[in-house]
Chains A and B, each alone.
Chain A
Amino acid sequence: MALKLGDYKTDVHNDWCPGCGDFGIVNALQMALAEMGIERDKATIFSGIGCSGKTSHFINTYGVHTLHGRVLTFAQGGKLANPDMTVVAVGGDGDGLGIGAGHFVAAGRRNIDMTYIIFDNGVYGLTKGQASPTLKLGEKTKSLPSPNPNSNVNPIGLAVASGYTFVARGYSYDVRHLKDLIIQAVKHKGLSFLDVLQPCPTYNDVNTRDWYAGVDLAKESMGRHSRIYKLEDTQFDPTVNYAGEVEVNEKLSQALIKSLEWGDKIPTGVFYKNELVSPFSTRITDNIPNYLENPPAKQIISNNGIPNTDISKILDSLDV
C-alpha cells in the first residue's frame, strides 16, 4: 500500500513558535519520505537538542532524539550497524557547528551514506536567543546585550573542507525546493549535508523572513528582489564529473567561493557533489567482504543461548 504524506505525521503536539521556519523543514522531510516511498520502519530520524531536536517526535518513523551536539555520533553508529536503514540526522546550527563541531568535521572524513540537515537560524532559540555559530560578526539580534563578538562559521565551506560529498543549502520557506534537495541528499551515495536557512521569528530579528525575501531591497529595486536565488538557475555545475585532481579542486574551490556569497544575494541549491569518493561501507567491505549482506544488526550470535562464535583457532595459538 502506497504511503501518503499523512502516514509520516505523528499526533505529537508541535510546540514551535507560530511562524517558525522549522515547520517548513519538517513538512519538506515528510514530503520527501512519502515521495521516495520509504517505509516508516526502514528510516530513522536522529535529532540533536534544541527546537530542531524535537523534529524526530513529529515524524512517524523511528526517531532518536539524542544529546546536544552528538546527533551525528548516534546516527553514524546506527547506520554502520544497520546499513539497510535510511538515516537522516537533524539539528540546529549551535548543535552541529558549536558544541558538535568536532563530530561535524570527523563525519566528513568517513563519508557514511546518510544525510545531515542543519536548521540554521543564527540563534540558540530554546535558551532564549543567544548568538549561535552562524550569526555574523557584529550582528545584534534582539536578546543579545551587545553585538556578536565572534565571526561566523561557514557551514557550506566547512562541509566542503571536511569531506562531505554532497553539500547543499535550502530555505525553509521554499518547501518544494527543499523537498527536492532532501530527496537528492538522501539518494546521494555518501554523506550529504543540507544547510537550511530558517528564520527564528522570536529571537532573530536580523535575518527575518522579510529580510530573506528582500523586502528592504524592494524599496530600491523595482523587479525581483528576494535575496535567495537558486544555483540551478545559473550556469553553476556542482558535480565532480570525473576523477582527477584538477576537476576535484575546481569543483571544491568554486563551492568554497560560492559559500562566501552573502548579503544581497544568497545562493541555495547544490554547491558540491562528488560520488567518486568511496562511501564508508566500501571501505569496510575492503576488509570485511560480507559486511553489507551480514552487517552487525543482522548477525546471529547464538544458537538457543549458546554462543556460535568459534575462537578455537585463536585459543589454540595461545597454548603453551
Chain B
Amino acid sequence: MSSTDFTWLIGGPQGSGVESGANIFSKVCAQMGYQIFGKREFYSNIKGEHSYFTVRISDENIHSNVNDVNLMVSFDAETIFRHFDEISSDGGIIYDSELENITTDKVRTLDTPFKDRLHELLESKNKPFTIAGVLELAKENGTTLYPVSFKSLLQHLSEEVDNPRLRNLVRMYNVIGVSLSLGLMKMSSTSLVNSIDDIFSKKPQIAEINKQTANYSYNFAFNNFKNFNYNLTGISKQPDTILVQGHFGTSLGKMVSGCRFQSYYPITPASDESVYLESNEILEIENGRPGSTIVVQTEDEISAIGMMIGASLTGTRSSTSTSGPGFALMTEALGWAGINEVPIVITLYQRSGPSTGLPTRHGQDDLLFTVFAGCGDFPKIVYASGDIEESFYDTGNCFNYADKFQIPVIHMMDKFLSSSVVTCKKFNPKKISIDRGKLLDKVEGEYKRFAFTDDGISPRSKLGMDNGVFWNTGDESDEMGHITEDPQIRIKMMDKRMSRLDLMLKSIPITQQAVSFEIHDYTIISWGSTKGPIIDAQSMLKKEGIDIGFIQIKLLHPFPTEYVQSLLKDAKVLIDIEANHSGQLGKIFKQNISRDIDYHILKYTGRGMTSTEIYDSLKKIVQNKAAKREVLSHGA
C-alpha cells in the first residue's frame, strides 16, 4: 500500500503566530486520522528572530522528523532563505509574492555565518542574493512554487466581508499560511474551522475573523493552486488517540502520581510543565473532595529544591522541574536529600550546554553531570524517558522509586521532547500504581528515623505526625538523626544508604530498566529522546532488508550492567547514538561493561536528530564506510 508520509514546515519571526499556525495544522491533520510528529525550533528571543515548526504526518505510527520537507509555507523572507534547500524535489513552497525582491541584507536577523554560506552558494550558481534567487534554485531542483500576495488576499477579503480592519491585519498571516496549505492539498475545511473554534474557544470574535480569513484563503488555494503531488484526503481515525505537547506526559503523570507540591524557577524548556500544573492546580478526586497541587515559583533553583525537600518531609509527594543550569544550582541540596533519605523527583528537561549554551535548543549533555551530581557518595536514580507517552508512565515509576528507596530521583527529559507535538495513545491513568514504600500511617513506641534494618530502608515518619519526632541533618547522623562523627556508625550508615543501589537493580523490573527493540549483529545503544528517530530509522532499514538492533537504556544510574550485558551478548558491533559531543552514555557503558563502543553517532548542533540522518549513518556503518565518530548536522 502506498502510505502517506508528508512533512510541512511553517516559519516566521518569533511572536508572529508560527506556533498557533502549527497547532491548527496539527489538529486538522489529527482530526483527519493521521499520526503527527511536530517539532518547534526557536531562538532565545521574544520577538523577531526566526522560528519554525515542522509537522510530519503519516498514516502509520511515526516517532521522528525526516530531513525533507514536502511543503513549506512562509510569510517572511527569512524562512525562505533558511529552508528553501530542504524542500523535496516533488514538494512545494507557498510564499508571499511581495517578498520576491527582498535581498539578504534586508533581513537583519540573518546572522553573518549563515549569510556568508548562502552568498557563496548563490554566487556559485549565478543567482542574485534575493528571495527570487533562492526560489530559482528551489525550482531548478523540481520544487513547485506557489506565490500569492498575502496583502492583496487580505484586501480582497476585507472588501468581500466589508471589514476594513482586516485589510492590514498582518497577524492573520499565520492563518492564511495554514489555510493555503490545506486548500492546496484539498484537505478538510470543516476540520480547519473546527480547529480554529477549538483554539479560540474563549474568544469568539477572534475566532470569527480567523474563520473568515481561513475560508477565504483555503478557497483561494483550492481554486488557484495546481499540480501538487500530495492530496491528503484523510483516513479513518485510530481510536484512543490524543494530540499532546511535550510537557503533558510529565505534568499529567505528576497529577496522577499524587504529586501535590511543585516548586520551580523559570527556565527553558522546563517551565511549561510547572505553568501547566498551576493552571490545573485543582484536581478532581474520585469519591472525594477536590485535591490540589501547590505550585510555588521560587527565587532561584536552590530555593526550589529546598522547598521541595521541606514539603517532602511532611509526607507530600514533591517535585521540581528544571534544566541543566538550574540543576547545577541544586546539587548541594541533592546531597542533603541523599544523606537524609528524602524522596524527591527532579524532572530535568535538558537543553544544550555548557553554561547557558544554546538555551532554547536540544541536547543530551547532562547525563554524566547528573549521574555524578552532588558531593560525596549517596544513592540516587537517574531515569530517562524516550518519548512523551512513556514519560507519563515513567513519572509514576519515578515517584515510586523515590518513595520505595527513599532517594532523590532525576527524571531525564529534554528539549526535543518538550517542544514536540505528537499523536499518541491516550494515557491510561490506571496503569500507574502508587507505592509509598515504608511511609508510616502511624507511629507506635520509640521511633528512630534512620533505624538500621535488614534491607537498609527505615520506616519513614513525616513532619507533624503524632509520636513520630525525628531529626535531620546534612551531617552524618545516628539512627535518631543526630550528628555523629563516630567511625563505626559512619561505616554502618554509609553501607546502609549505599546498599540501596543493589536493591534497586534487584527490585526494579527489568522491563523498566532497559528496553530491547531486537538484537542483531549491529546493535544501537541509546537513551532518551533519540528513541523516536532510531526506531524510525530501524524500520526504514528493515524495509531494505537490513536488520539493526537497538537497546534503549532507561535506568542510567545505577547502571543495569547485568541485564544490558545479557541483552547484548549476541551483538557484534555496538553503535552509540546520543545528542552530545563526548558520547556520554558510551562512557558510562564502558565504565560498567568492559566492552568498547564501535561507532558513535553524535549530534550537538542543538537541533534534534532526524530519522533520515540516523538512517544514513547506519547505512554507512553497515557498508563499512563510516567514521568511528559520525557527527550529524541537519537542521536550520
Q: List chain A positions with a Cβ less than 8 A from chain B.
A: 10, 12, 40-42, 44, 46, 49, 54, 56-57, 60-67, 70, 72-82, 84-85, 102-103, 105-106, 284, 287-288, 290-291, 293-297, 299-303, 305-315, 318-320
Contacts and interface: CB of A to CB of B under 8 A. Distances in A.
B281 A73 contact: no
B152 interface: no
Contacts of B298: 73, 106
B311 A306 contact: no
- Residues of A contacting B: mostly: mixed
A84 B255 CA distance: 23
Nearest to A49: B474
Nearest to A102: B299
Contact of A65 (B289, B300, B316, B471): B471
- Name the 4 nearest CB pairs between A and B, nearest first: A73-B306, A301-B258, A77-B310, A77-B307
B244 to A, nearest CB: 6
Interface string B413-457: 000000000010011011011110000000000000000000000
B261 interface: yes
Contacts of A79: 310
A67 B433 contact: no
A79 B316 CA distance: 11
Contacts, number: 243
B258 A309 contact: yes
B368 interface: no
B224 interface: no
Interface string B278-312: 00111111111111111010111011111111111
A193 to B, nearest CB: 17
Nearest to B430: A306
A61 B471 CA distance: 8
Report which residue of A44, A46, A65 has the largest number of chain B beta carbons within 10 angstroms of its beta carbon: A65
A73 B310 contact: yes
Given A65-B474, A309-B291, A311-B256, 12 more contacts: A62-B471, A63-B470, A64-B463, A64-B471, A65-B473, A72-B303, A73-B306, A77-B308, A79-B310, A290-B289, A295-B294, A307-B396
A184 B283 CA distance: 37
B316 A81 contact: yes
B280 A314 contact: yes
A78 B434 contact: no
18 contacts: A12-B482, A41-B469, A65-B483, A66-B306, A66-B472, A72-B303, A77-B309, A85-B464, A102-B300, A290-B289, A295-B294, A297-B464, A299-B316, A305-B433, A307-B432, A307-B433, A309-B283, A311-B429
A46 B310 contact: yes
Contacts of A44: 463-464
Contacts of B584: none
Contact of A305 (B260, B284, B423, B435): B435
- Chain B, interface size category, equals 35 or more
Given A61-B469, A74-B307, A75-B310, A288 B282 contact: yes
A72 B31 CA distance: 50
B258 A54 contact: no
A64 B472 contact: yes
Nearest to B242: A318
Contacts of B309: 74, 77
Report which residue of B289, B314, B467, B469 has the largest number of chain A beta carbons within 10 angstroms of its beta carbon: B314
A264 B486 CA distance: 47
Contacts of A85: 314, 463-464
Contact of B248 (A42, A78, A318): A318
Contact of B307 (A60, A76, A294, A311): A76
Contacts of B427: 311, 315
A267 B432 CA distance: 59
B590 interface: no
A173 to B, nearest CB: 26
A42 B312 CA distance: 16
B314 A78 contact: yes
B70 interface: no
Interface of B: 27, 30-31, 237, 241-244, 248, 252, 255-258, 260-261, 263, 280-294, 296, 298-300, 302-318, 332-333, 336, 396, 423, 426-427, 429-430, 432-435, 462-475, 481-483
Contacts of B31: 320
- Residues of B contacting A: mostly: mixed
Contacts of B296: 76-77, 80
Contacts of A74: 306-307, 309-310, 313
A61 B472 CA distance: 11
A300 B243 CA distance: 30
Given A46-B310, A77-B310, A309 B316 contact: no
Contacts of B429: 307, 309-312
Contact of A56 (B252, B286, B318, B471): B471
Contacts of A81: 260-261, 294, 310-312, 314, 316, 318
A160 B545 CA distance: 74
A81 B309 CA distance: 10
Given A77-B261, A80-B294, A319-B242, A308 B285 contact: yes
Given A49-B474, A80-B307, A297-B315, A308 B287 contact: yes
A188 B408 CA distance: 35
Contacts of A313: 284
B431 to A, nearest CB: 10
B53 to A, nearest CB: 18
A310 B284 contact: yes
Nearest to B290: A290
Contacts of B333: 67, 70
B313 A78 contact: yes
Given A77-B306, A77-B310, A81-B260, A103 B472 contact: no
A66 B312 CA distance: 14
Contact of A80 (B261, B299, B302, B435): B261
Nearest to B400: A305
A129 B308 CA distance: 33
B262 to A, nearest CB: 10
Given A77-B318, A284-B294, A310-B286, A318 B244 contact: yes
Contacts of B289: 290, 293-294
A42 to B, nearest CB: 6
Given A62-B470, A294-B292, A82 B284 contact: no
B294 A41 contact: no
Nearest to B336: A67
Nearest to B34: A320
Contacts of A66: 306, 336, 472, 474
A319 B243 CA distance: 7
